[in-house]
Each structure stands twice: as C-alpha cells, then as structure tokens.
Amino acid sequence: MNAKTPGSGANRVLVADDNAVDRKLLATIVGRAGFEVIQAVDGNDAVEKFYAEKPDMVLLDALMPGKDGFAVAEEIKANSGDGFVPIIFLTSLTEATELARCVDAGGDDFLSKPYNRVILQAKLYALQRMRDVHQTVQTQRDEIAKHHMQLVADQEAAKAVFDNVASARNLEAPYIKYLLSPLALFNGDVMLAAQNPANNLYIMLGDFTGHGLAAAIGAMPLSDVFYGMTAKGFSLAEVVRECNRKLGSVLPSGYFCCAAALVVDFSRYTVEYWNGGLPSAYLRKLGNSELTPLASKHLPLGILPHDQFKDDTLIHEVSPGDRLFMATDGVIEARNSQGEYFGAERLESLVVNSPAESLFGSVRNGVYDFIGAHESDDDITMVEITVVAEEQLQAVNLQDSLDELGGPKDWKFSYELGPSSLKDFNPLPLLQQVLMGAPYLRVRASAIYTVLAELYSNALEHGVLGLRSELKSSAEGFAQYYQARAKALDQVSGSVRFEVEGSIQETQVELRIRVKDSGKGFDYESYLERARSSETTAGYHGRGVRLLWDLCETVEFRDPGNEVEVTMQWEHGYE
C-alpha cells in the first residue's frame, strides 16, 4: 500500500473516538494516508485538543460519553473564526434523522463503521482540497480588502482636492440656493461661482463625461480658468471661450463637459447666458406665469477647436424678485422605484407653479418625493439665484490691506483701440489690471471696474456703433438691441480711446478717466436734463449716467458728446 501524499499544508487531523479499538484503527488509517494524527478519547478531550493543537480537520465519533460528538462539532464550528475546519462524523447511525442531526451540528461528511480505508482517505483528501480552496479565497479576499481600502483612501483624497478646487465657493449668500450632488466627484458635476470686479455674479454648472477621477481632473483647469478670468473682469463669452480651449487641450478625445453659465448683472439688471449641452435653465419672472427657457444652443465644452468655437451669448432683462434656476441632468433623469424618469415636464411644472419664495425647496422636495429617497441618496445638482436689488448684494471681500501706500504716486497712460480690436477684444480686464498696479486703488476695485465698463459700453455701443439705448426699455426692444449690437459690431469701423491719470498726495487719492469715441456725439444736455429730473424710471435702475453719478465725484461730457471725463476721489484709509 502506498501512502499518498496529501496536498499542501492542511494535514493535521484530530481523531476523537471513545472506543480504543476504533480510535487506533482510525489513527493508523489516517496516519498511513499521510496525515499527522492527534487523538482524543472523549468529547471534552476533543475540545481541549482542538484549542491546543489547532487541527486542520476533525474525525468525530457521534456518540461519546459526556460531551457527545454533536456538542463538540457545534463548539468547533462556532470557534473556527474565519477558518474552515471540516468535520467528518463517525457513525453507525443509519437513520435519516440522526444523520440530519450530524449535518445540523455542523458536520461536513459522514463515515460509517466498519471503516473503509479507501473511502476514508478519499473523504479526507476531498475535504483537504476544500480547505485549500477556502484558504486561497480568504487570502484573495484579504488582498482585495487591502486594495479596496487603498482605493477608498485615494478617492477621499481626490474628493478633498476636488472640493477645495472645483466645487462651489462664494455661494453663501441669501439670494443663492444650491445643491451639489454628494456624488459629484463620481458623476462629473461641477458648480463654480464667483463675482467679477463689478460684483456681477458668474455661475457655471458643468457635467463632465466619465466618472470619478477622469471628471475630477477636468474640473481643475476649468475652475482655474473660470475663477481667474472672472476675477479679472473678463466677459462671459471670453470665459467660456477660454474654458473650451483649456478643456480641449486637457481632455482626451471623446471627453467633454456639458456646461451652462450665467452672469447676473445687479446694476444693469440683466442675465447673460451660454448653454452648451445642459438641460434648459429657466428664468421665472416675478408675477409671471410663464417660464423663459435658457436652452442649450451650443456644443459642450472641449469639443470644438478654438477657431470654430461659438461664444455667442443671449441676454435677458431681469428685475428684483425674478428667479433663475439651473440644474444638471441629474434632476431630469432621477428615477423612482418603478423606473420612471422625473422628466423635464415635471421640473418645469414645479419651477413655474411653486410659490416664488420656496421655489428651490419645492423643486428639491418634489424630486425627493418622486424618487422616494433619503437625502443622502440623491444625485442632484441644482442652483437657484434670486435677482436682488443692488444694495442687497454681499460685498466682495476687500482684497488688500487698507494701509498700502506703495506703488506709483503720480502717473498717466492712454490706450486706444482701433476697429479690428473693437470687434473681438475686451479691454476692460487689461485696464483693470493696470490700474490695480497702484495698490491704493484696490480698495475701490469694484467701483473702478464698474465705471470703466459703463464708460466703455457707452462709447462703443452708442458712440461708435450708434445704437440707441431707448430700444432697451421694452422687452422686445431689449432682444433687438443686442441683436443689432452683434450685427453692428461685425462691421465696426471706429475707435475708442482711454486716458487715465491717477495720483495719491498724502492720503488724498484721485483717479481721472477720460473716454473718447470716434462717433459723432449726441445731445447730451437734454439727456442729462432728463436723467436729473426723473426718479427711478422703470428700467433705469442706476444705469447710464446715474451709475456714474453714484460712483464718481464729477462727470463731465464734452462737445460734441463723444467724450466723457469722470473723476473719483477719496481719502485713503477711510473707505
């Protein structure tokens, strides 16, 4: 007879039988099969030897005095922890109920008397293989668990970076309500918000293709461009154009970002928007039962090359109390337990029918009710902006200390844009940048930018392009105005010239800005007369010359009306 060598490590067998003859016979058979044998003479001995010797398998006599085999088996199984210790019951019991009891107690197999060497060996080898497999599975499971923990840690780190960089900052204002999906790192949602130097609110929602790190990585250059350019005073068209260019260079082919961006101008009361691939945003006017959809007209960011990218935006008039609502497709695609989609119709109905003050909450609750979800299950990214009167805006954080007296104390420069520049180039960020080179001007950065913007837009639109601002006073006229603007700009011929002088003497700061356009001028006397006499005419909210009067010490028009000079003066340290 040959002793067959059993498989890997699992070769220690506990033999428990109170009958000395049986035990001896078994021990011999098992030993000859290549296993190491540990003997136990009864139930209690079996349990003791199990703890002490830690056998890999157990042969257990069912009926033993004192603690019987069933009790021993139960105890062994309960105390094997993660391991698998096969138990073979030795029994002369043949009745089904008795055998069932063996199984219930945890037996993995039976061996009946008289003992057949071949059968016993076969059973032992089989169980040994099972034990080996079990061991392998456990090892693999532990490996996987370890890698998984690493993965989770990596993702948490990625999420922390993502939260710092790309998710909503600057959104703690009462007129902004938002939800950013807690799964944003994984579903590709991004929400960016910032104020430009004129305190206009720029908001961009993005939805990257792909999930997880692929989306998070795209979010970072996007947010760099967005925040950087907004802070410098670039226009919405310029921001989305650069976002497209940046993503086009960073993302692999086939990856893109559906995005929509709004700019709310709280002094001119307009909303400008660009939407490439997100579901329609909505403008709900106060007291109106209609929604104005702000629909997707463009390809998502990151697809078109720079020279083909379309940055045209649309502008609507707004008034205090109007609300803007924007969401990624997580809302429309939210599903209930029957697999139905929430859908655009339901969303629109909620947006238009909910009471204005609780619009955001109503939409949010409407979605949650529909999907029957707890808050932590949601995958919703949406934002609501209420148009408020300018006075209610949160002030932008003052950037630098009020004590800065450094920088040039006495300077001037002039800057002129010719026709080929007027069409495509926005000089405001550059001018602002230059002016901020004088640190003592920074405390009024916002007002300065606003003044520059107002002077420039007047010079360009009314002076050079010859557009009449009266058009803007009706809703249809408003849209026509901007269409006419785009058309005229395409064929512009003319120039705009800035002359700027700044000085600080002791603590007295003076900034003088002169803008002259190549147009033929206008009857500014009557215009100023009208402006002086009217109170807050509807649609006039601080636009035009009233804005300049608010922010500047002096405002002077010069004949024939194509030149304006303003001065801003203040006591440094007292602002």
Binding-site ranges for other proteins (CB under 8 A): 1, 18-22, 24-25, 28-29, 32, 63, 65, 92, 113-115, 117, 207, 209-210, 253-256, 258, 276-279, 296-300, 303, 308
Enumerate residues 6+ apart whose C-beta is below 8 A from 523. 561
Backbone angles phi and psi of 564, in degrees to 5: -130, 140
Whole-angstrom distance, CA of residue 489 vs CA of residue 470: 19
Let me know how many helices (H) and strands (E) the chain has, helices first: 17, 20
Please, which residue, 69 or 542, has the CB nearer to other proteins?
69
Q: State the minimum distance, in angstroms, from the CB of residue 168 to other proteins.
A: 22
Q: Which residue has the tokens 């463009």?
A: 298
Amino acid identity of residue 524, one-letter, is Y
Q: State the minimum distance, in angstroms, from the CB of residue 249 to other proteins.
A: 15
Please, which residue, 208 or 440, has the CB nearer to other proteins?
208
Q: State the minimum distance, in angstroms, from the CB of residue 15 to other proteins.
A: 14
**For residues 91 and 112, is the Cβ–Cβ distance under 8 A?**
yes
Please, which residue, 190 or 436, has the CB nearer to other proteins?
190
Q: State the minimum distance, in angstroms, from the CB of residue 185 to other proteins.
A: 16
Q: State the minimum distance, in angstroms, from the CB of residue 238 to other proteins.
A: 21
Q: State the minimum distance, in angstroms, from the CB of residue 64 to other proteins.
A: 10
Which tokens is 237 given? Answer: 């068209």
Q: State the minimum distance, in angstroms, from the CB of residue 180 to other proteins.
A: 19
Q: State the minimum distance, in angstroms, from the CB of residue 426 to other proteins.
A: 25
Please, which residue, 22 or 75, has the CB nearer to other proteins?
22
- List the beta bridge partners of residue 257: 208, 301
Please, which residue, 115 or 175, has the CB nearer to other proteins?
115
Please, which residue, 25 or 513, has the CB nearer to other proteins?
25
Closest CA to 26 of 98, 128, 112, 130: 112
Whole-angstrom distance, CA of residue 51 vs CA of residue 38: 12
**For residues 274 and 311, is the Cβ–Cβ distance under 8 A?**
yes
Kindly tell me the sign of the dihedral angle through the C-alpha atoms of 369, 373, 378, 379. negative
Whole-angstrom distance, CA of residue 301 vs CA of residue 209: 11
Distance from the first to the final alpha carbon of the chain? 105
Please, which residue, 115 or 522, has the CB nearer to other proteins?
115
Please, which residue, 303 or 451, has the CB nearer to other proteins?
303
Run of H or E residues at 161: helix 117-165
**For residues 533 and 546, is the Cβ–Cβ distance under 8 A?**
no
